[in-house]
Copies of this chain bind each other. A is one copy, B any other.
Amino acid sequence: MNTTIQAPQSPGAPKTARGARTRAKILKAAEDTFGTLGYHRAGVTDITRAAGVAQGTFYTYFSSKEEILRELVMDLGHKLRAHLAAEVISTDERLEAEEQGLRAFLQYLADHPSLYRVLQEAQFVDEAIYQEYYETFARGYADMLNAAARKGEIRAGNNQHRAWALMGLSHFLGMKYALWDQRAKQGEDAFDPIVETMSDLLRNGLALSGRERG
């Protein structure tokens, strides 16, 4: 028999430098095209035109439009996580890390708006990969919170619930202030007021502290 066990659904990785370059061009073009036109309005034609190759070339590296979206989601996810990890090394105090993480996320989203659209649209094209994206993120997040709780840096509590809550918080703040509100994007410290509000919320909650009460 001698059949290959795992037939790759993608047509095959490029075997030369030229191929690798072309594949990368197409992937980048897909990111841009999906980012501006959206997944459904963007045709394979638009992607290949943006990449400067013929339609047929697309199928040399990707078996379908859906597949390139999946590829893109994983790619963008890796890049974001790498970026955030790099930005948050300077402290290991959890609540400070939380602030830096939020600031970095907002800035990253303002600089890479396609991330948002590609990811959110992927949800309706391949729900599994969308879930996996956030489950992965949540796992890592909850682990960090658990570690902080063990070290006595934060209150005890359900850190899985908290992780999802914090992701949602970042997501919505990013959507509103990094993507929709143009003026918020100006300048290096544009997101400071937001980060500060969240810092207070996460440190102290909304209830008045002892001396403020009464």
Contact = CB atoms under 8 A, between A and B. Distances in A.
A157 B95 contact: no
A180 interface: yes
B172 A167 contact: yes
- What DSSP secondary structure best describes chain A's contact surface? helix
A202 B208 contact: no
A170 B40 CA distance: 28
Interface in A82-111: 94-95, 98
Interface of A: 38-40, 94-95, 98, 117, 120-121, 123-124, 131, 134, 138, 152-155, 157-158, 161-162, 164-173, 175-177, 180, 193-194, 197-198, 200-210, 212
18 contacts: A94-B206, A120-B124, A138-B176, A153-B208, A155-B204, A155-B208, A157-B206, A161-B198, A164-B173, A165-B169, A165-B173, A165-B197, A168-B169, A168-B172, A169-B169, A202-B207, A203-B205, A203-B206
